[in-house]
Amino acid sequence: MSRTISQSMKSHIKKGNSMFRSFLIKYGEIGIKGKNRHVFEDALIRQISLALHPVEGEFEITSERGRVYVEAKGDYDYDEAVLALTRVFGIVGICPMWQVELHDMDQLIADVLSYVDAVYPDKDKSFKVFTKRADKSFPLDSQEINAELGGRILDAYPAMHVDVHHPEIELHVEIRARVNIYSEEIAGPGGMPVGTAGKAMLLLSGGIDSPVAGYMISKRGVSLEATYFHAPPYTSERAKQKVVDLAGIVARYSGSIRLHIVNFTEIQLYIYDQCPHDELTIIMRRYMMRIAEHFAKESGCLGLVTGESIGQVASQTMKSLMATNEVCTLPVYRPLIAFDKNDIIAVSEKIDTYETSILPFEDCCTIFVAKHPVTKPNVNIIRRSERKLSEKIDAMVEEAIRTTETVEVC
Ligand code: ATP
Ligand code: MG
């Protein structure tokens, strides 16, 4: 089945005037048997409803034994609705469909013929009918229905022909409480609905990597909060706005994100004054982790998330990651750990964060960076350097936490 909207179908989709009133939502079934199915379906329905909220139109979302349906009540914006659904984790396929009442074979034939006529004005196409009969009381079995519908389509539209191996149109007819007729499947993002796993704290910078890391962890059903460290006046208001914007783009997928904006200037200057400059980034990172973990624990997050990837820069060698990790008690999830930069960029383009990420605003880490940072930090030496901060650092961390600005980004 084609995974995208076909050209012929696209040309017939008009704003508020789609020929489809409903969508059949397909979701992955692995690991969601028994009791879990309800948790999964409820979360999926909740996320679909949130995603469709800003879309023009009114929608009803229902579930029926392994199926989720979205039905528009009146006019709606088809393109916007499909776009919103392609961002809901847990969905593997979105099938625009006709849902018709179940009567008898004659009515079924009439409905299928009108579907084919409306959806495929160009009839020079091969097809195959796939019937599923969940309602066994229907007098014909699936094979008989396939044969009957196939024959009637050929009679009605002589330009069409059957191809059982590689049909251009896979015409699905599902006989349930009602009848679902569909022939296109638009790929969903996969993953698990947000809300089926716990919550995690993303360390969100204005770069390319961390928004992608947030997207990926959220794809596994995890809700997000985020922490951003800035260093005014060394970093600008525009740099901060860029991070708020990035959080907003990630939130299209993850749902709303509470963003903690920490003023890191005093801490950075103090580290700069007291510690060896080749260790600055590692020590700064350790304080970022400590502060992010404070907010994470306060709001019940089960882990931290970063955009780190082995060897990307000096602060991300395995030794550096070990040194950064050492100060955390929560697990640190690094979904990009084995990704090349090009692969990360490909995801960021797909999810639409790339253009914002590359805006050239300064980041607090790049301002206080050393010319030759350590690539193999020794944890004992780092700890010894941190002791030079003992006089003021606790008060500074407390102050940074106290003055943190929190915004809800959706
Ligand atoms: P990104 O990794 O987001 O593209 P970057 O590559 O400039 O930005 P790195 O120096 O690679 O950032 O930092 C590694 C990780 O540390 C980031 O992915 C992010 O999770 C975290 N981090 C870095 N700077 C900040 C910051 N200013 N605020 C919050 N988290 C940060
Ligand atoms: Mg990076």
* Mean pLDDT for the stretch of residues 84-102: 95
Residue with tokens 């698990």: 192
How far does residue 298's CA lie from ligand 2's centre (Å)?
Answer: 26
> What average pLDDT score do residues 302-310 get?
96
Among 260, 291, 365, which is best to mutate for testing ligand 1, by the most ligand atoms less than 8 A from CB? 365
Residue indicated by tokens 């009679």: 155
| Residue 65, number of CB atoms within 10 A of its CB | 8
pLDDT score, position 373 = 78
| pLDDT score for 34 | 74
Q: In sequence order, what are the residues at sequence separation of 6 or more whose Cβ sits closer than 8 angstroms to the Cβ of residue 113? A: 152, 153, 156
Residue showing tokens 């395995």: 318
Give residue 399 CA to ligand 1 midpoint distance, Å: 22
The pTM assigned to this predicted structure is 0.88
Query: Hunting for tokens 């002791």 — which residue is that?
Result: 387
User: Residue range 107-113: average pLDDT?
Assistant: 96
Q: Is the pLDDT assigned to residue 33 strictly greater than 70?
A: no
Locate 148 and state its tokens.
């009957």
Q: How far apart are CA 364 and CA 386, in angstroms?
A: 19
Q: Whose CA is nearest to atom 24 of ligand 1?
A: 205
Q: What is the pLDDT of residue 3?
A: 36
Instruction: Please name the residue whose Cα sits nearest to atom 20 of ligand 1.
Output: 306
Residue nearest to atom 14 of ligand 1 (CA): 308
- Say how many Å lie between the CA of residue 281 and the centre of ligand 1: 11
Q: Which atom of ligand 1 is nearest to the CA of 211?
A: 3
Q: What is the pLDDT of residue 9?
A: 42
Taking the CA atoms of 200, 205, 210 and 215 in sequence, report the sign of the dihedral they define. positive
pLDDT at 372: 77
| Statement: residue 6 has pLDDT above 60 | no
Residue 13 has pLDDT above 60, yes or no: no
Phi, psi angle pair for 117, to nearest 5°: -65, -45
Angle between helices 265-274 and 393-402 (to 10 degrees): 160
- Residue 304 Cα to ligand 1 middle (Å): 13
pLDDT in tens, 359-375: 987 776 666 677 777 88
User: Residue 285: which residues within 8 A CB-CB, separation 6 or more?
Assistant: 315, 324
Q: How confident is the model at residue 30 (pLDDT cuts 50, 70, 90)?
A: low
Burial class (CB in 10 A: 0-12, 13-18, 19+), 370: middle
pLDDT tens digits, one per residue of 115-143: 999 999 999 999 999 999 987 888 889 99
Protein residue closest via CA to atom 2 of ligand 1 = 209
Closest to 218 in 3D by CA, of 257, 261, 260: 257
Looking at residue 15, its pLDDT comes to 44
CA-wise closest residue to 404 among 259, 287, 236, 242: 259
Buried b / exposed e over 42-53, threshold 16 CB at 10 Å, is ebbbbbbebbbe
Over residues 13-27, the mean pLDDT reads 76
CA of 347 to the centre of ligand 1 (A): 17
Separation between Cα atoms, residue 391 and residue 381, nearest integer Å:
18
Q: How many other CB atoms sit within 10 Å of the CB of residue 12?
A: 17
pLDDT per residue as tens digits for the range 163-220: 999 999 999 999 998 999 999 999 999 999 999 999 999 999 999 999 999 999 999 9
pLDDT of residue 377: 86
The torsion angles phi and psi of 89, rounded to 5 degrees, stand at -60, 145
**SS3 call for 218:** helix
Give the mean pLDDT of 30-59: 86
What pLDDT was estimated at residue 142?
Answer: 93
Share of the chain above pLDDT 90, in %: 76
Report the atom number in ligand 1 closest to the C-alpha of 315: 10
Q: Which atom of ligand 1 is nearest to the CA of 336?
A: 18
- What gap in Å lies between CA 320 and CA 314, rounded to an integer? 7
Specify the pLDDT at position 37. Answer: 82
Which pLDDT score, from 0 to 100, does residue 10 have? 40
- From CA 65, how far away is CA 84, in angstroms rounded? 24
Residues 6+ apart with CB under 8 A from 298: none
Instruction: Give DSSP secondary structure letters for 299-332.
Output: TT---EE----TTSSGGGSHHHHHHHHTT-SS-E
Specify the ligand 1 atom closest to the Cα of 264.
27
Report the distance separating Cα 75 and Cα 382, nearest Å.
Answer: 63
Q: Given this model, what pLDDT does residue 16 score?
A: 45
The percentage of residues in the chain with a pLDDT greater than 70, rounded to a whole number, is 93
At 76 the pLDDT is 93
Atom 21, ligand 1: which residue's CA is nearest? Answer: 203
Distance 309 CA to ligand 2 centre (A): 7
Tell me, what DSSP letter sits at residue 354?
Answer: H
| 8 has a pLDDT exceeding 60 | no
* pLDDT for the residue numbered 4: 38
Q: Are 7 and 188 in contact (CB under 8 A)?
A: no
* Mean pLDDT of the residues in the chain: 90
Please give the number of the atom of ligand 1 that sits closest to the Cα of 212.
Answer: 3
Residue 400's pLDDT band, with cuts at 50, 70 and 90, is: very high
Q: How many CB atoms lie within 10 A of CB 387?
A: 11
Q: pLDDT tier at 313 (50, 70, 90 boundaries)? A: confident
Task: Pick the ligand that lies closest to the CA of residue 282.
Answer: 1
CA of 210 to the centre of ligand 1 (A): 6
pLDDT band at 337 (very low <50, low <70, confident <90, very high): very high
- Residue 31's pLDDT is 55
Q: What's the pLDDT at 28? A: 81
Under a CB-based contact definition with an 8 Å cutoff, are residues 12 and 116 in contact? no
Q: Which residues line ligand 1 (CB under 6 A)?
A: 203-205, 207-210, 227-229, 288, 306-308, 312-313, 363-365
**Ligand closest in space to the Cα of 366:** 1
CB atoms within 10 A of CB 274: 17
Pocket test for ligand 1, best of 201, 204, 208, 209 (most atoms within 8 A of CB): 209
Nearest CA to ligand 1 atom 25: 205
For ligand 1, atom 5, the nearest C-alpha belongs to 207
Max avg pLDDT among 4-18, 65-79, 259-273: 259-273
Considering every ligand atom, which ligand is closest to the CA of 240?
1
More confident residue, 277 or 129: 129
